[in-house]
Each structure stands twice: as structure tokens, then as C-alpha cells.
A and B are shown apart, each in its own frame.
Chain A
Amino acid sequence: MKSKDSNECCCSGESVPCCSGKTNDTAINPTPEIKETVSKVTIHEWLNHVLARLGVNRSGWRVEPGLYRLGNPGPDSPVFVTANYQLSFDALRNAVKGIEGYILVLDTKGVNVWCAAGKGTFGTGELVSRIKDTGLSNVVNRHRVIVPQLGATGVAAHEVTEQTGFKVDYGPIRASDIPEFLRTGKATTGMRRVRFNLLDRLVLIPVELNQTFTRMLGIAAAAFFLDGKIAASGVAGAASAGLFGVPILLPWLPVKDYSNKGFLLGGAVGVATAAAALKDDNGRLAHKTLRALSYMLLLPPISAYISLNYTGVTPYASPSQVKREIYKYIPVMAGMAGAGIIMNTAQRILRLLKG
């Protein structure tokens, strides 16, 4: 299930603070405990990133929450706030190489900043109590924390200031822009926009693959045993079109709705499979036409469904759009698949009857 995803997940959830750690109103911790960290991300840690991207051990990539010292910071050094997801923490410390500062790690249950902010765990309540619990005001002179812009979905800057006296500075979306942000003191428009380039899209494939592979293998196996290798190849092709074709070709597919992007590619696979079936089939024209048509109906919904599921990880689709697509296209997908199954079964029965 996609919903368990913690790296590129889908939770732009309700902004009600939930599990926001201790709601501790007690006095500021006078002797802060500061943990040590370094900018260098080790090979072992990079390997862990690969595993995390593959969706292995999904909730296990956690960093202990709290305050970290990076290099040899002083009372005027910047404070960066991040989530306790390993990839978020490592992206930050890797990006700020050579910069001495503090990292305040919030307890987001091992979920990245964007998803945790949507859920509210990367939120006002957790940030406020973490600032108080770590005694941050005794550590730095400037009462200012740099929060990643995508955390703004969970953090109300003015409320943090009201409750702690700390000013929230929204930093750039990508950690790699932090050095320039620190140098110039501001984030450019480009740093403030989400982008979704080929690499951003490619890294999403493994998790999606992990979640769909078994199911697709099952469907392909069923197609193989019920119908043969052309049908099985068709299923594999339609699944690949959705899993790989859609994210790779995303900006170039000339339709807006995600389902249609899938239908477009799945349609191509359907036509190719139908052509292969017509060429291969020595049966009567009526039978093979029915068979070919059944592929054209059955395969596109597979790609379209997978494509629709990518909405949760893209930075464009709004919940309203996803909802609209679900009501508009799920019935179409179900109808096409149903009609395809009926047609395929019909041609099979007809062949048996007519020998």
C-alpha cells in the first residue's frame, strides 16, 4: 500500500497537530544536551538511502530527535530544523558541508518533512516543544530557526514566535540551496518553487514498483495461464507503461489528467498487443477480433490506475484534482476492464463451441 510510504509519500494530510510529541509548557531546559554530527555522509549511509528508496524497512530510517552540533558552532551560528527521517537529515548535513551550525531534529516518526508537515507531526506543537526541551534559547543568541519551506504546511510561523520568541525563517525547498541562502540572506524565486525534473521523478519509481510488482506479477501470471504469452506480455507492458513510462514521460504526455496519461500509454500497449494477437492467431476472424479488442479494453486501465496512483507523490496534483479524477475515471477503468474480460471469455467459449 502506498499509504505506508514514508519517503515520498502522499500525506498532505490534515494540519491538525497529531502526535506532536510532548506538549511541554515547563521551563526552558537550562543544561541542553547537544548531540554531535558531521557533514560527511558515509558510504554505508548512502547504501541505506538506496534501501530506503526501494521501500525496504520503511519505518526504520529514523534519527534520534533533538539538538545536534555540526562542526564547531558558536552562539551566532544558524539553527536548521529538519525531520527525523534519515534521508532528510542526511540531505541537510550533506548540503551544509563546511558550515558550522546546529540541527534541530523534530520527531516526525521517521517521515520526511513534506509528508510529516501535511500530517502535522512536523508542526507548530512539535517545533515549540523541541525548542523549549532542548533549551535552544540558552545555546544561540539570535532567536531564529531556519525551517525548510515545505515544512510550512505544518508550521505556523507566527504561532511559533508567539510561543517561544523564536522567529521562523523559511529556508529554500532544497537543502542544496542552503549555502547560497545563507550567503545572500534570501531565497530566490527558483529556490521557493517545487520542481520535478527527471531525476526527481526517477527516484520515485522503486517504491512504486515495490508496491505494485507482486500484484502485477500475479495478474501477468494469471493472464499467462488463462490466455498465453501474448496476454502476459501485454499485462507486463501495460504495467511498465504506468510504472516507468508515466513518470519518465510526465511533462511530455499531452494530456492533463493523470489517468489520461496512463490511458494514452496503456492504449499504445493495448494496440500493440492486439496487433500481435491478430498476427499470431490462426482462428476465425470474429474470434481473433474479439480477442484483440479485449486487449485494447483490458490493458489501458492497468496503466491508467498505476498512473493515477502517482498523483500522491507528484508536487502538482491537489486533493481536489485527485478526487475529481477518481470519480471520473475509476468507473471508466472498471467498465473497460469488465468489458474486456467478458469479450475475452466470450471468444474463448465461442472457440470451444465451434471447435
Chain B
Amino acid sequence: MDKTRANTLEYNPDLCNLCGICLVVCPQGVFERVDSEIRLSNPDACMECGACALNCPRGALSVDSGVGCASAMIKAALTGGEPTCGCDEGCC
């Protein structure tokens, strides 16, 4: 992981069609519409939930979203597996 960055959110303004769905879905106010463009005004607030990337119809956003719970990640680090959150019961 890049140590200089707080998170994995990436935005390519060239692909953006200004639909503004990212402004709607982001629970942290990372995006802002300034004049006629959308900017990452507060990228450090990103919690990597992935809602913006999933809902962007133009693929202008990407973020590695994943399990954010420490115990699952510690377990994954120890066992070498992928972190899973045990919503497993009766699932998959």
C-alpha cells in the first residue's frame, strides 16, 4: 500500500459526466460540485465503502473496498486468507 495516501480512492475527472450520484451516495462528504466540475474536496474522509465507485455510471471512480473490522483482518493476516466478516451463517 502506498504509505503517503490515507486510502485507495481514485478519481478520473476526464471520465466524469457530472451526474452527481457520488455526491448523493457518499456518507462522508468527500465530493463537492464546484462550478462545472466535481472535485474530491475531502479525500481523507473517505472510509472506502465503495458506494461511489459502484454507482458511477462512467467508471470515473475506483476504490478498494473491503472488510473494515480489525478482528477479521487480524485473523486473515494470521491465516493468510481473505478477511471475511461472518455474515456467513446461512449465507453463501
Expressed in whole angstroms, the minimum distance between the Cβ of B16 and any Cβ of chain A is 14
User: How many A residues face the partner with a CB closer than 8 A?
Assistant: 59
| Chain A residues with CB under 8 A of B72 | 2-3, 10, 312
User: How many B residues face the partner with a CB closer than 8 A?
Assistant: 42
Interface residue? A94 (CB, 8 A): no
Closest to A323 in B: B73
A1 touches B71 (CB 8 A): yes
Interface residue? A158 (CB, 8 A): yes
Interface residue? B15 (CB, 8 A): no
Which of the residues A5, A157, A189 comes within 8 Å of B55, measured between beta carbons?
Answer: A157
A194 touches B27 (CB 8 A): yes
A325 to B6, CA, bound (A): 12
Q: Is the interface of B mostly helix, strand, loop or mixed?
A: loop
Task: Kindly supply a per-residue 1/0 record for chain A positions 123-139, scoring 1 wherever the CB is within 8 Å of any chain B CB and 0 otherwise.
Answer: 00000000000000000
Which of the residues A117, A312, A315 comes within 8 Å of B71, measured between beta carbons?
Answer: A312
- Which segment of A40-48, A145-153, A341-349 sits at the interface? A145-153
A10 touches B69 (CB 8 A): yes
Task: Please provide the chain A residues from 153 to 203 with a CB less than 8 Å away from any CB of chain B in the complex.
Answer: 153-158, 170, 173, 187, 189, 192-194
A109 touches B7 (CB 8 A): no
Closest to B71 in A: A2
Task: Kindly supply a per-residue 1/0 record for chain B positions 26-61, scoring 1 wherever the CB is within 8 Å of any chain A CB and 0 otherwise.
Answer: 111100000000000000001111110011010000
Expressed in whole angstroms, the minimum distance between the Cβ of B69 and any Cβ of chain A is 3
A312 to B84, CA, bound (A): 12
Closest 9 CB pairs of A and B: A10-B69, A312-B69, A11-B85, A3-B86, A152-B25, A152-B51, A318-B48, A194-B27, A319-B66
Which chain B residues have a beta carbon within 8 Å of chain A's beta carbons? 1, 5-8, 21, 24-29, 46-51, 54-55, 57, 64-75, 77, 84-87, 89-92
Which chain A residues have a beta carbon within 8 Å of chain B's beta carbons? 1-6, 9-15, 18-19, 59, 109-111, 115-119, 121, 149-150, 152-158, 170, 173, 187, 189, 192-194, 308-309, 311-313, 315-326, 330
